[in-house]
Structure 1
Amino acid sequence: MKENIFKKYIIGFIIGAIFMSFCVLTATLLGGFKINTIETSHTGIKTLIPILCMLVGFIIQGGTEEVISRGWVLPVVGAKYNVPFGIIISTLFFTLLHGMNPGMKLMPIVNLILFSIFAVLYVIHSKDIWGICGFHSAWNWFQANIFGIKVSGTNMPGGSLFSFHSVGEFELISGGVFGIEGTIICSGIFLIGIAYLSYKITKNLKCNFNKQD
C-alpha cells in the first residue's frame, strides 16, 4: 500500500514537472519568456542546497493545499450535496486562496479554475490525492526553483537553477506580473489534461456499467 502511494506521488511529480517544463519552453519559443544567461549569486548549481530545501517546502505546501481543497472540501461538500456541487465549491475555494496574489487578472483566475478542475478530475480518476499532491509540488518547485519564475505572482526564496523572466507586452504569452500561470499556454495544457481525464473517467464508468450488465 505504501509503495503504491509513493509510486502515485512520483508519477504525479513527474507529470507536474513535464507540464511546467512544456509551458516554460513554449512561452520562451513564442517570445513571452527569456532566459537570463548572466549567472548571479541566486542562480546556478551553487544554489543547489537551498533549491533542495525549497523542494521540501513545496512538498509540504502543495500537499497541504491539495489535502484541504481536494482531500477535505471536495468530499465533504460532495457527500453532503452532490459531486458537481463539491467540484464547484472546491474550485471556488482554491481560487479564492490565491485571490490576493500580485498581478491577479482575468487570465490568472481562468487558469486557477482550470487547474482546480484538472486537479479534481485527477483525484477522481486516481481515487486518491497522492498523485495530485506530487503534481502540485513539482509544478510550483520547477516554476520557482528550477526556472526562477514567480509562483502565482510571488517571488520565491532559495534561488533557482535557471533564471527566466517575462518579456514583451503580450501578457497572454508572457503572463505579466503573475508569471507563467497567467498565460494561455497554461490554459491550453490544463484543457488538454481535463479532456484526457474526462475521457478516461467516462471510459471507466462505461466499463464498470457494462460489467454490471
Structure 2
Amino acid sequence: MQEVLVRGYLYQMIKNNYNIVVAVLISTGLFTFAHGGAFEAGILPVLNVITMSLFVTAVLEYTESLVAPIVIHFLWNGVGAIILGGVSLAEDYPHLFNMVISGNSILSGGSCKIEGSIVVLFMNLILMFGFVMAKKIRDKNL
C-alpha cells in the first residue's frame, strides 16, 4: 500500500503538476516519515529508508511501472522481515527465523539488524545510481 500511495499516486501527481525534483523530495519525505521507527533508531536507519525510497523511485522511473517498486518493497519486507527476521524496525512483523549478524554494529546493524547497516546504505546508493545511469543511457539512445 505504501508504494501505491507514495509512488503510484502522490509521486505521479506531484511530478505531473510540478517536476521530478519536487516529486522526489516530497515523496521521499513522506515515505521516510511513514517509517517513523527509523528516527528512534538513529541516523543510519533514517538514511537507509531515504536511500531505499530514492532507489525504488529510480526503479519506477527506469521501468515506467509501479510493479517493480512494489515487488522490491515486498521482497524487502517479506524476505528480510518475515522469513529472516532481519528487520527490527517493524517489530510487529511475524518471522520464521531470527537472523542475528554479530560483529561491528556499523556493518551488522547492531540492534537495528540489517536496517541499521552501512552495507544496506551502500547497496541502496549503488542500485539507485545504477538505475539512474541506465535510464540516462536509455533516454539518450532514444
- After TM superposition, the score normalised by the length of structure 2 is 0.90
CA deviation profile, 1:129-160 (whole Å, cap 9, x unmatched): 10111111111111123212234352522x41
Which residue pairs with 1:145 in the alignment? Answer: 82
Which of 44, 60, 65 does residue 128 from structure 1 map onto?
65
The answer to whether the aligner puts 1:195 opposite 2:116 as a matched pair is no
For residues 132 and 39 of structure 2, the distance between their equivalents in structure 1, rounded to whole angstroms, comes to 32
Which residue pairs with 2:24 in the alignment? Answer: 87
**Counterparts of 1:35-46 in structure 2 under 5 Å?**
none
Which residue pairs with 1:183 in the alignment? Answer: 117
Contact 1:121 1:194 in 2 (8 A): yes
Q: 1:128 corresponds to which letter in structure 2?
A: S
Contact 1:172 1:184 in 2 (8 A): yes
Contact 2:10 2:27 in 1 (8 A): yes
Percent same amino acid at aligned positions?
26
For residues 127 and 102 of structure 1, the distance between their equivalents in structure 2, rounded to whole angstroms, comes to 31
Deviates more, 1:140-149 or 1:185-194: 140-149
Deviation for aligned residue 1:196: 0.9
User: Quick check: which has more Rg, 1 or 2?
Assistant: 1
Contact 2:81 2:93 in 1 (8 A): yes
Which structure's relative contact order is higher, taking Cα pairs within 8 Å and 6+ residues apart? 1
Where structure 2 has 5 or more consecutive residues not aligned to the other structure, the ranges are none
Relative to 1, partners in 2 of residues 1:166 and 1:102: Cα closer, same or farther, differing over 3 Å? Answer: farther
Deviation for aligned residue 1:176: 2.7
Contact 1:78 1:85 in 2 (8 A): yes
CA deviation profile, 1:75-113 (whole Å, cap 9, x unmatched): 111111111110110000000001245842100111111
State the superposition RMSD in angstroms: 1.8
**Counterparts of 1:26-41 in structure 2 under 5 Å?**
none
Contact 1:174 1:183 in 2 (8 A): yes
Instruction: State the aligned residue count.
Output: 142
Deviation for aligned residue 1:167: 3.2
2:87 partner SS: coil
Give the ranges of 4+ consecutive aligned residues of structure 1 lying more than 3 Å apart after TM superposition. 100-103
For residues 39 and 137 of structure 2, the distance between their equivalents in structure 1, rounded to whole angstroms, comes to 40
